[in-house]
Amino acid sequence: MTIKALRLGLVVDTAAQQNVLRQLVGESGHKVAVSLLAGNFVADMSRQKISEVDAWLVILPLESPSWPAIDDWLEQLPLPVIIDDGGDSQPGSSAYDAWRRRVLKKLQQLNGSINLEQHPAGVAKTFWVLAASTGGPEAVREFFQALPANLDVGFVYVQHIDSGYEQSLVDMINRYCHYQAYCVADGDVLYAGSTAVVAGSRWVDFLSNGTVTVRSEPWPGIYSPAIDQVLANMARCFGSRCNAIVFTGMGEDGAAGARLIHQQGGQVWAQQPASCTVASMPESVIGTDVVSITGTPTELASQLTQFMQSPTKLFKQK
């Protein structure tokens, strides 16, 4: 997804730090709206348009005489803040490169921090989790190719695949479908009309405001990513707004999560086993007796189109 440029406020100890941080903010894709020197903090604060700031970057030694006033201000500040002592911010110093990478990473994560604290606009009202393993990319491509544009849906595509191939899935979807795909990152939003791709080794969770959190630890259990874990979390967060389609794949990942989706009032569909590369995953979900529709990927796309246009007319088919 396109990163929104944030307006940052700087509070720094020296003009040299000011120059370095302006450059880092630019590299991160954001812009500096306000820049204050710590020594003139109180006077400068009264003259600046601080209401135009989305987040603050505060870098100064903790022993600075201005710190008490800044500390009082920070306690009342409702915006995200990055604080650093600036001890390694001098270009050419032995620790500068590591400091620069650390601050740049924090700046690049600011959008996520802000989204996690708010209720972002554009969050999908209805979610469909597309779950797949062996043969999944081809089946999901066929499904997306048969979908019309402008369905009011947010897709979450969960694919068993080795780490490092996430971008190839995104590229495939964007080549063949109307629903822009992106690899999920911490703080991303599940927008209507888009496809969030979950295919990495790190555990991904979802929050009820429609945002994504990415944990540092690996997925629980033997599958990566864990489809059951994704379905369980989305069922808990979104209730009957969350639905699932289980495509071709090996194993039983998704069967337990499908029950939770069904219990919350969501739809559970599955690819027709005869059309699968490996049928064990959809067969295990069908065996739970919660699946209401089966079909080829193209048929499932047609059913989804009809369902989104008139969900009350959909009858159970097995």
| Predicted pLDDT at 315 | 46
Count of C-beta atoms within a 10 Å radius of residue 128: 22
Q: What's the whole-number mean pLDDT along residues 119-144?
A: 92
If asked whether residues 157 and 86 sit together in one domain, one would say no
Q: Indicate if 208 and 304 belong to the same structural domain.
A: yes
Within-domain flag for 95: yes
Q: Catalytic one among 54, 188, 228, 253? A: 253
Which carries the bigger pLDDT value, residue 18 or residue 117?
Answer: 18
Q: Are residues 290 and 160 in the same domain?
A: yes
pLDDT-derived band of residue 241, with 50, 70 and 90 as boundaries?
very high
Residues 299 and 191 in one domain: yes
CATH number for the domain including 305?
Answer: 3.40.50.180
- Rounded Cα distance between 35 and 26, Å, is 14
Which residue is catalytic, options 133, 194, 224, 284? 133
Residue 299: pLDDT band with limits 50, 70, 90: very high
Q: Is 228 noted as a catalytic residue in this protein? A: no
Let me know whether 179 and 132 are in one domain. yes
Same domain, 134 and 62: no
- Of 308 and 94, more confident: 308
* Domain span holding position 140: 127-313
Share the mean pLDDT of the chain: 87
Same domain, 71 and 97: yes
- pLDDT score, position 313: 47
Residues 271 and 155 in one domain: yes
Looking at residue 98, what is its pLDDT? Answer: 87
Domain edge (last residue) among 117, 137, 161? 117
Is 318 contained in some domain? no
Asked if the model's pLDDT at residue 317 lies above 60, the reply is no
Least confident of 37-41, 108-112, 263-267: 108-112
Please tell me the predicted confidence (pLDDT) of residue 226: 95
**Ranges 169-183, 199-213, 237-251: which has the least confidence:** 199-213
Of the candidates 28, 84, 160, 224, the residue annotated as catalytic is 160
Based on the residue annotation, tell me whether 160 is a catalytic residue of this protein. yes
Does a structural domain hold residue 93? yes
Question: Do the domain assignments include residue 254?
Answer: yes
191 vs 314: which has the higher pLDDT: 191
- Pair 34, 112 in one domain: yes
Q: State residue 118's pLDDT score.
A: 58
pTM over 0.75: no
| Per-residue pLDDT, 111 | 65
pLDDT surpassing 50 at residue 1: no
Backbone angles phi, psi at 34, to 5 degrees: -140, 135
Q: Are residues 297 and 197 in the same domain?
A: yes
| Banded pLDDT at 2 (limits 50, 70, 90) | very low
- Note the pLDDT tens digit of each residue in 81-123: 888 777 777 788 888 888 888 888 778 667 666 655 555 668 8
My answer on whether 152 and 250 are in the same domain is yes
Number of domains in the chain: 2
CATH of the domain at 65: 3.40.50.2300
Is 133 an active-site residue? Answer: yes
Pick from 87, 117, 147: which residue ends a domain?
117
pLDDT digits (tens, 9 = 90+) for 150-203: 899 999 999 998 877 889 999 999 998 999 999 998 878 899 999 999 998 888
Last residue of a domain, one of 90, 117, 144: 117
Q: Of 1-10, 18-27, 75-84, which gets the smallest average pLDDT?
A: 1-10
